[in-house]
Structure 1
Amino acid sequence: MNDILDAILAPESTTADFAALPLPESYRAVTVHKDEAEMFAGRTSQEKDPRKSLHLDDVAVPELGPGEALVAVMASSVNYNSVWTSIFEPVSTFAFLERYGKTSPLGKRHDLPYHVIGSDLAGVVLRTGAGVNMWKPGDQVVAHCLSVELESADGHNDTMLDPEQRIWGFETNFGGLAEIALVKSNQLMPKPKHLSWEEAAAPGLVNSTAYRQLVSRNGAGMKQGDNVLIWGASGGLGSYATQFALAGGANPVCVVSSPKKAEICRAMGAEAIIDRTAEDFRFWKDEHHQDPREWKRFGKRIRELTGGEDVDIVFEHPGRETFGASVYVTRKGGTIVTCASTSGYTHEYDNRYLWMSLKRIVGSHFANYREAWEANRLIAKGKIHPTLSKTYRLEETGQAAYDVHRNLHQGKVGVLALAPQEGMGVTDPETREKHLPAINRFRNA
């Protein structure tokens, strides 16, 4: 690994140099273990601690198949799917790996007693498999997390509809929280040149997810002038949704849980902000009953911020805790678009407010190839910026996942893999200088 790192850090290294580097037999990776899948049995989600389930192991370098690439990972990041994997919710990810293992001999590689996790990376291509023409050893890349087989016609209009669609590093093995990762070559995209390794690794999953959910015609199809309610507007997903709303001429109504998070939204340019903690919005009377009076109070507060208008779009991801309120406050004919359920998967809402007001609920999951590429292009052009707030070392990933699980973070939490320190990997300092305040916005907060 030291030879690989030396080659990456040497600006004169060529494609031939990288191709000639011998691959190590093993590499360090963050894993969960199959024989520990029941370690948190009987505990609530909040009682489950990723620091106890995530391990840093030496694992074997996987066999490289056709259409694939091995990438030296300089940096990665923690997403909520890393938290789900670490606490074995809603199911153990080993169920995904077992299912994948039954599809083909190459799929069998993923069915192991350990799972290398992580759905983001920024790094350098080391090897490409047969049939890969677009990428070569030495290319600096980021990876989106859509893994599909594309053998079925179902996925050729929208790759997210492929019956063998998976999220890399969550439903596949050999993810990005490691020194080496195995990806399909069509997951690779050019690394934004003005960003450091850890900054470039942070947006992938959440930026693409927010793009499809909010901007794409496969999601809400946001337009200029729309009022967009964004839950967790300073968080990993919400911080990108807020940027997309502002960049697209919409009016974000940002819901946050502290004055500090409200300040971050203001720094991004948002004006309509609701601190749900300070204003004590409680949408549930108890575990089984919601409080419609709180929905109404929430709707009134939104109209105070929008000049009397209801929201056209709700950017949903908390799920159970907020979904009833989301359906209620959406305007007639509006859209609730949901991509996750971090507070619970069983959603409850009063259907009268949906059907009688012709509202739509749209399910959205990650992004297709084109959407992921467009989202990364906006990062590369400096139109959308990373929301990295803090970076950990690979051996500290358990703590990073714990912070995300407990909502102790702002924006995105990064993880250095091979990169010796933060701030490395910038090859376009001019563009960086132009956008530096926005790049550092979440760090400064």
Structure 2
Amino acid sequence: MDSLTEALLSGAGPDEIGRHALPPQYRAAHLLAADVGMFDGVADPDVRKSLHVGSVPMPELAPDEVVVAVMASSINYNTVWSATFEPVPTFAFLKRQARNGGWDRRHDLPHQVVGSDAAGIVVRAGTGVRHWKPGDHVVASCVQVDDQEPATHADAMLGTGQRIWGYETNFGGLAHYAVVRASQLLPKPPHLTWEESASVLLTAATSYRMLIGDNGARIKQGDIVLVWGATGGLGAYAVQMVKNAGGIPVGVVGSEHKAAALRRLGCDVVIDRSAIGLGDDGAPTPERTIELGKRLGREIRRQVGEDPHVVFDYVGRATFGISVFVVRKGGTVVTCGSSTGYDHHFDNRYLWMNLKKVIGSHAANLQEQAECNRLFRLGHLAPVLSDVYPLDEVGEAARLVQLNRHIGKVGVLCLAPEEGLGVTDPALRERIGAERLNPLRGLGAAPRPAEGARS
């Protein structure tokens, strides 16, 4: 163990942190460019075979960057995409970034450190960093932007220089150390542990933009919101936000195990997709889509009395046509991903003739993330951790997500030697109540579904 890591784990303050040199290498979950193509023709691209944990060199620090000692991180589906080299190998992103020249050249390496969430301690700040210093407890946003691009100042997600850190860039969060831009950082909620804090920002802020912010559906009191995959990381936060906004969440899940988890979240209406005949065999035919949409609509009206105002869809090909059909006249389908495939098919008559809207949404800008982070700091949103793995078992953690056997979020301990550390405001934690903080903890992995299933 290097001296900086030893100092951090012994509780070193800002002055002492600065006296220790950055280690020349650090431990990280990474992919190898030499492995691209290893899954060609393979029916089951097992991410445990492509995710490596070992030493990588510490990169040089740019003036607008910080080095964060990562205490904990979490698994997002983009790590599964990276580790399967689909839909494109993410090394292509690194080469494209390197063509910008300057500091961006550092990212084009024969390895990529992955991971798009992190909670930890600032240990170095570049010469151009103004608002962060060694010793600060932070969470890292997944979004990197070009602050010299005009579009960034309207909405950072519109800039052509916007990238997802640890997916479209190198030096990600599933590691002992991470290099991030200062504009990615927000204060860590002081009542949360490292692993709780690291399980929040990417998925919760994405859900915030989709549902609450000015760039999304802007739900209001009384809105009925259909949430596909309601016990996933995105869905579990979406259910909480709908409840907080005075709406009525209708959650769709794929098993009784996940239905029980959804009830723990306080979801008003729980629908098992098997009850409406929706299987795991890909997108239904146009005729089947209408049939399933009618079944789902009848079930929602039976339990709630009305059609949904908003549909929250990140499942994609298997559900999107149904989403467009089932949302009410003048309603909104908001989408941020396609875990079952990107090639969506829907009957456009039900969109245009009923004045429905489709909103594409991607991650969240820093202001939206700050507003979302504030809700966690106030205790109005709770982490949804279900499992926590050590960094050395990151392949197992990612495999759980790949097979859709997880619920909520799967955390990864990086430098933190055990769970439960990092709380600096225990009084607030006690006031909020530990039982509210992780409603999905202890439920464990779902029984293994058929390969390729999503819920």
Give TM-score, length-normalised by structure 1.
0.96
Equivalences for residues 119-158 of structure 1 within 5 A: 119-158=116-155
Pair 1:390 & 2:391 matched: no
For 1:50, which of 27, 47, 51 is the aligned residue?
47
For 2:402, which of 400, 405, 411 is the aligned residue?
405
Question: Residue in 2 aligned with 1:40?
Answer: 39
For 1:90, which of 87, 90, 96 is the aligned residue?
87
Pair 1:305 & 2:303 matched: yes
1:372-395 Cα offsets, whole Å, 9 max, x none, are 111111111111011011011111
Q: Distance in 2 between matches of 1:353 and 1:160?
A: 29
Q: CA deviation at 1:9?
A: 3.6
SS in 2 for 1:160: helix
Count of residue pairs the alignment pairs up: 441
For 1:225, which of 218, 222, 226 is the aligned residue?
222
AA aligned to 2:136 is D
1:115-143 Cα offsets, whole Å, 9 max, x none, are 00000001000100011111100111110
1:343-386 Cα offsets, whole Å, 9 max, x none, are 00000000000000010111000000100111111111111011
Q: CA deviation at 1:10?
A: 3.8
For 1:248, which of 237, 245, 259 is the aligned residue?
245
Q: Distance in 2 between matches of 1:289 and 1:303?
A: 22
For 1:366, which of 363, 368, 373 is the aligned residue?
363
Distance 1:85 1:359, change over 3 A: same
Question: Residue in 2 aligned with 1:414?
Answer: 411
Q: Distance in 1 between matches of 2:229 and 2:165?
A: 25
Q: Distance in 2 between matches of 1:312 and 1:279?
A: 20
8 Å CA contact 1:25–1:60 kept in 2: the answer is: yes
Question: Residue in 1 aligned with 2:426?
Answer: 429
Question: Residue in 1 aligned with 2:21?
Answer: 22
Q: Distance in 1 between matches of 2:361 and 2:116?
A: 17
1:211-235 Cα offsets, whole Å, 9 max, x none, are 0011111011111111000001111
Q: CA deviation at 1:154?
A: 1.4
Distance 1:436 1:285, change over 3 A: closer
Q: CA deviation at 1:247?
A: 0.6
For 1:162, which of 159, 171, 178 is the aligned residue?
159
Pair 1:378 & 2:375 matched: yes
Equivalences for residues 159-198 of structure 1 within 5 A: 159-198=156-195
> Relative to structure 2, which stretch is displaced further, 53-62 or 277-286?
277-286
SS in 1 for 2:169: coil
Q: CA deviation at 1:305?
A: 1.6
Q: Distance in 1 between matches of 2:58 and 2:287?
A: 50
Distance 1:288 1:34, change over 3 A: farther
AA aligned to 1:301 is E
> Relative to structure 2, which stretch is displaced further, 62-71 or 429-438?
429-438
Q: Distance in 1 between matches of 2:42 and 2:384?
A: 32
8 Å CA contact 1:283–1:322 kept in 2: the answer is: no
AA aligned to 2:4 is I
SS in 2 for 1:444: coil
Distance 1:277 1:132, change over 3 A: same
Question: Residue in 1 aligned with 2:5?
Answer: 5
Pair 1:100 & 2:97 matched: yes
> Relative to structure 2, which stretch is displaced further, 140-149 or 279-288?
279-288
Listed as ranges, the gaps of 5+ residues in structure 1 are: none
SS in 2 for 1:311: coil
Q: Distance in 1 between matches of 2:387 and 2:171?
A: 24
Q: Distance in 2 between matches of 1:413 and 1:311?
A: 30
Q: CA deviation at 1:57?
A: 2.1
> Relative to structure 2, which stretch is displaced further, 432-441 or 65-74?
432-441
The sequence identity of aligned pairs, in percent, is 50
Distance 1:354 1:289, change over 3 A: closer
1:222-269 Cα offsets, whole Å, 9 max, x none, are 111110000011111100000000011110001011112112222221
